[in-house]
Amino acid sequence: MTGTPAHTAPPLSTLTLGGGCFWCTEAVFDSVRGIVDVESGYCNGEALRPRYQQVCTGSTGHAEVVRLTFDPAVIGVRDILEIFFGTHDPTTLNRQGNDVGTQYRSGIYYEDPAHAEVANDLIREMSQDKLFGASITTEVRPLHNYWPAEDYHQDYYAKNPLQGYCSYVVGPKVVKFRQTFARFLR
């Protein structure tokens, strides 16, 4: 049989990010071109199959995160990380605004070591440029013990835009993203 070889699409990739409350981070990445799926969850803690009530205590070691599945032919890891750093405060240890605790830490959790290299290079560049005026506290670690958040957390902002936290915290982050990173909108 002759003919041209079939082209196969490059495989999708994943990257897990903790930027404080997962509702905020999910709402931002839900509208990014090249992001195929955004799932809120918990990672890098010790409890197996953690629940929201456990994670909120700060005793499990988990971070609230979003697990991004993306098409690297459409958006690169560096672009994703630039959006991530531009839509949360990576300089506050275990805190985003009024959300305080280790579960709200800034983190990049990778499965592909090449993603860690990109993250560490970007953090080094931003630190040298003193981009944030303070030290970056974002941790870069291998993904460990990931567990999806409960169903009611998935697509929370899309389903509850008028809820108080969504109106006053999530909404402004989404507006900032749309203004600053319009080139990445779907």
**Could you tell me the pLDDT band of residue 119, with boundaries at 50, 70 and 90?**
very high
What average pLDDT is seen over the chain?
A: 93
**Mean pLDDT of all residues in 132-148:** 95
pLDDT tens-digit profile of 11-56?
999 999 999 999 999 999 999 999 999 999 999 999 999 999 999 9
pLDDT for res 98: 82
Question: Do residues 25 and 63 lie in contact, with contact meaning Cβ atoms separated by under 8 Å?
Answer: no
Provide the token pair at 177: 């993203």
- Fold exhibited by the domain 13-173: Peptide Methionine Sulfoxide Reductase; Chain A (3.30.1060)
pLDDT category of residue 1 using cuts at 50, 70 and 90: very low
Asked whether 157 and 26 are in contact (CB, 8 A), the reply is yes
Q: What is the pLDDT of residue 96?
A: 87
What is the reported pLDDT for 36? 97
Report CA Rg, the chain.
17
The rounded distance, in Å, linking the Cα atoms of 68 and 35 is: 7
Cα separation, 155 vs 85, whole angstroms = 21
Which of the residues are catalytic? Answer: 21
- Of 20, 46, 59, 50, the closest CA to residue 148 belongs to 50
Percent of the chain with pLDDT over 70: 95
**φ and ψ of 116, to 5 deg:** -65, -40
Residue 9 has pLDDT above 70, yes or no: no
Q: Which residue has the higher pLDDT, 133 or 81?
A: 81
pTM of the model: 0.92
d(CA 126, CA 121): 9
